[in-house]
Amino acid sequence: MTVQCSRPYPLGATTDNSGCNFAIHAPDCPDIQLALFEENGEFVTHTLDNEYAGIRHVYIHGVKPGQRYGYVVQVQGKPHLISDPYAKALESALKYNTPFSSSKSFRLPKCIVCEDTFDWQGIAAPNRPRDEMILFETHVKGVSKLNPEVPEAQRGAYSGLVSDAMLAFYRKQGINTLQLLPIAACMHEPHLLNMNKVNYWGYNPYLFMAPDPRYAANDACTELKTAIRELHRNGIEVILDVVYNHTAEGGQDGPVFNLKALDNHYYLTHGSHFANYTGCGNTLDLSHQASLNLVMDTLRHWVSEYRIDGFRFDLAATLGREGDHFNAGGAFFKAVAQDPVLKQVKLIAEPWDIGPNGYQVGSFPFGWNECNDRLRDITRSFWRGDRGYLKEFATRLMGSRDLYSAANWPYRMTVNYITYHDGFCMQDLVSYKHKHNEANGEQNRDGHGDNRSDNYGVEGETESNTITAKREKQKRNFMASLLFSFGIPHILTADVLSHTQKGNNNAYCQDNDISWLNWELSDRKTAFADWLSEMIQARNQFMVLSFALLAASPVTITAFSGDVSTGILWSTTIGTN
């Protein structure tokens, strides 16, 4: 008889034919115990007798995929259940009644031992060149929740992304890349739970590797893999929006879910307090080896097990933080650059955070693409009629080459956008002068104040044909500027349908029809969607060719600009410098 010994790597729960190996990085938690749960909630604990370099590990015979588990530690002298930072699945969606406590920790959803098997049916990833990408930012739930053509059981779910109705929509609109808002398991902030709200956007990670059960009927892992496989089958890439700048543990007085109990060096600190470069009170320190390992292992997991095509990194300046300074040659960027898996996928940075020296547009390493807020702001000001923006508007249209040399395209090509999930959607950009976030419960103090928007005479919805016509023309001006500027266009899927959030420019907690896309299309909305589809076809015909020609020699590019509703064209000759 062979006696199976435990091992420190890989971290997490790893099964074989005889049982399961459990390993967890816990240098500051020597009394940690593994808890295996029964269906009735009872559990048995096991001591992790083996240790290597701060990693505690144990092998348990007979454990199979589907086993529910967690770890018991001591917090202020009380038994406290924490999750495995390397857990690949959770049994159910996350929620608790505030205030959080050690006793309530045992009521949270348990981690699930997984078996990484899935039938990909021989479907290969599209491997789309960057210059062909058009990013459509999409919320898994919101995109299909109200679509009457999606079967009811699939609405708002991973499976809804690949329903027949949604696949037909992608084809009609020319959508080739979905950028999904965060789908890693998200815990809601205490103030939202107190208001019976949720973090709808998902920017408060509880576990980095586990897909959020909110969007699954039964098995989030299998249902998400199925959705990605079917998107790939239809030539659509999937970019994940990921959050590695903080976790849901929320600062000094926030709840203890895992990392706080395991290693005192996971987070950046100022003295005895957590550094707050994110506005969330606990900035992950990627110069610490365990933090870096966790992020790198997680990214590889999404690519290897889910075949994700790339990542958009939220507040990515934090990833290069060394205290108050940003280092483009920091440990994280070097680790990604040498990783045989990650260096093959798309990497997109939101190149700032809210800390000192946090605005780093143009500073990320070669091979990264960056979100370009300057194109957003200048284009909004220009089309609103503000004076003094013509020259810089031209610079933004030509690829912001003061920031990103054309000689480095497509590897340093800017990600251009007019609207993003945070801020006004396109319909509200031309319908509201001021933000209206009262529904968020924060007295309209939240959300960006510098929106550079206009209502053209009436705040919000109107029956005036003159104002409506002006708004429709401005929407087309914005979209034409975006699609025919040099770079990777980023479009809100909500904007395709002319969806309105009723003036809310920070709908992060609105899990309702403020955020769920309205599929009741009027003639006006249908006409805009049809026009946008034609413009995307025109971009694919004219702009994509120009990127290839640009590297070889100066070339004359013809694109829509000016009053696009009348089809006015301009042309310019550009070079590669």
Catalytic sites, residue numbers: 314, 350
Neighbours of 356 (CB within 10 A): 12
Kindly give the interhelix angle for 523-550 and 164-173, rounded to the nearest 10 degrees. 60
Q: Which amino acid is at 165?
A: A
Strand partners, 184: 211
Strand partners, 348: 312, 369
Alpha-carbon distance of 519 to 496, in angstroms, equals 10
Q: Which amino acid is at 296?
A: M
Q: What is the H or E stretch that residue 35 is in?
A: strand 33-37
What DSSP letter does each residue of 219-275 carry, written as one string? -HHHHHHHHHHHHHHTT-EEEEEE--SB-TT-STTS--SSHHHH-TTSB-EETTEE-
Q: Where are the beta strands (DSSP E) in 277-392?
A: 310-313, 321-322, 325-326, 346-349, 369-372
- Residues, the chain: 577
Alpha-carbon distance of 299 to 287, in angstroms, equals 17
Neighbours of 121 (CB within 10 A): 9
**C-alpha distances in Å from residue 554, one per residue of 129, 393, 575:** 21, 21, 4
Strand partners, 181: none
Q: What is the H or E stretch that residue 530 is in?
A: helix 523-550
Q: What is the H or E stretch that residue 556 is in?
A: strand 555-560
DSSP character for 218?
S
Asked if 47 and 56 touch (Cβ cutoff 8 Å), the reply is no
What the block records as the tokens of 561 is 């600009």
- HSE (side-chain half, CA atoms, 13 Å) at 454: 16
Q: Where are the beta strands (DSSP E) in 188-227?
A: none
For tokens 């904007």, the residue is: 495
Asked if 237 and 128 touch (Cβ cutoff 8 Å), the reply is yes
Alpha-carbon distance of 11 to 21, in angstroms, equals 9
Asked if 188 and 108 touch (Cβ cutoff 8 Å), the reply is no
